[in-house]
Structure 1
Amino acid sequence: MDIIINYIKNLKRKTVNLENLENIIGGGCSYEDFARGILNLVEEGLLIPINSSNNNGKKIPLCYKYRINKEALHRDSEEEIKKYLLKMEIEINLSFYLNKDEQYWRKDFPYIIKINDYIKENGIPREDATSPERSFQIIGDEKWIDEKGGKAILERMGLWHKLRINYNPEPLMIAVNPKLFNENKKYHIIVENKSIFYLLLDLLRESVFTSLTYGCGWKIVSNINNLEKQLGIEESENEIFYFGDLDFEGIAIWNNLKDKYPVKLAEIFYEKLLLQEPLDGKTNQQKNIKALSSFLDNFQDSYKKQISQVLKQGKYYPQEALKKEDLCEILNSYKDRFGGF
């Protein structure tokens, strides 16, 4: 009778017809078994007959219409919610689910557990973050908050304002190569971390890149739309490249970025990075397998295998592993690719 219980739980009406219940069961159940199941629900107080004398007249008679006891139906789920409430972090509020249909609780439950685990491990954030960054930290899916109903769940749990999600993008930190600014075709490089930004800054004038942008982790996802506007080059032909840490989070940043804007992976930087020794750590990062697959599509098979193995081992390649000499070689490779100026 679970199928009937789930059906009447989700009905918005307060009554249900016998015919509807029979249709839910279909032909896979004998009338006797069906009738005994309905009578059990009546005995448990989940269904209340309306005018018991108006029945189908069969050997085991059933009323044509029943009132649904919503309070009794949701009693078990209420006890379950109260049980979990005792286990949850103090910042989490589940009162919404006590007053709504059980379907909300069932649908949101996997996310509620992940959110609680995040707060238990990290506490309430002390610093602002973009919605993709916070989404990736909590669920492992950078699109969950904005595109997959995550914001509504956080609001239901009373957490939306506590998690310090910032929708006001900061201005980009950009360096310009004045030698190339008047060229119609312009190449731009975005890097995830500040240290690599400053190393490249000294080399920018002798490179093929018109601009160098400090992505500041996830913040670039929110303000990438400002790049051409801040530089005043909306009418130019622009080709934008991205280089970040080679770990799950860096890959997720790039994946979110390229879905939002035509950004290419600066694969020459990564290929040079793969010649370095990977570092231990980053084992607690969320993993977006689709993002990894999309990232690997940019590399030859040997590189794909190396990247996959390193990440599987819980290791990673930080941008900072590249020295100034490495960066000079990389920039010369881009000169060769684009013809130089």
Structure 2
Amino acid sequence: MSPSPNRLQEHVVSVVAALLTNRVSTTDLEQTVLDRLGGEAYRGAGGYRAFAEAIGVLLTEGRLKAVKPRETNGLFPALPQLLKRTISRMGTDPATIHVLLSQLHPAIMTTHYQRHPADLADDRQPLDALDRYLRQSPPSTVSLTVNERSWQLFGDEKFLAGPDGARLLNRTGINLARLACHQTHEPFFYTTGNPSATAVLIVENKDTFFSLQQAFRQGQTGFAGQDYRLLIYGEGRKITRSLAFLSEIPGCAPETLRGHYFGDLDPEGIAIWHETATRFGHWQVVPAVALYEALLAVAGPRAPALRTAQRQDRAALTAFLAHFRAPAQAAITSLWEERRYIPQEALHAAWFADVMRAP
């Protein structure tokens, strides 16, 4: 159904209220109204003649003023070429707020803006973008990535995934599914192992990943009675974000797999495991106990002092130690208190070649 001429008046008021500056050309103002309604609805509401009538009302009320009255847009009825909004915070009175909110698509919740009208001015442009998208016909059937949809709607590929976008969606009750878009996960490097195994091995550092990869490629995917379906390169702290990519790998449902994490035996490595296990608490990510115990056995007596200062997270250490038996707990605690560490590179390619086993 096309909007009535009175409805067009409301759209003109809405556009004027949302202006970022107090000056606007009549041509730009009309184009914005036309873009919002679409050509067919704009013509059905009376087109330019109804638009000119709406501008005339605002001029008569003093809400708009001609900057140079003698310079017109050359159309009939003629309008001033350049307009000035005379009330800087136009649209904050309850009546205008009601008009603005009533024009939005029914799927957009407006309760927040009724309670906090000052936020409407800040959100007006993205609200208009949401409104235009929701009114398009037919609706989008292809799911885009969040960044792709964000660029399409707002001209900013980072908006939807950022705090401003999250706040807008929360205020309006619109979710990503309604916008036909989806989150993407930062990928990680991985090597496949035994497809029937129910555990994956995550390693912190690049050298250890490549050393283990050699063994995996020889079919040696097991250690200390545990076989692994995947070998994942954690890439330091990146794994605290990228582990979600596991759900993108065919046949790897994270809820059916157990993650074994193996990193440097130092405060940073322990903190990385703890943050990963906490962030992905709906999965199971535990320390690779057998590999850490091997690390202690091979290099414990040679453990050097930490090269750089590292923040010690006592909660992370406590959670980490809970997975070990008493002798390993004591050894790890001593390293922690004496500010010594063991890099995972102490277990090298030749060592892995000797101890890794085929399924």
Place the TM-score, normalised by the shorter chain, in its bin: 0.3 to 0.5
TM-score, structure 1 length as denominator? 0.45
TM-score (norm 2): 0.43
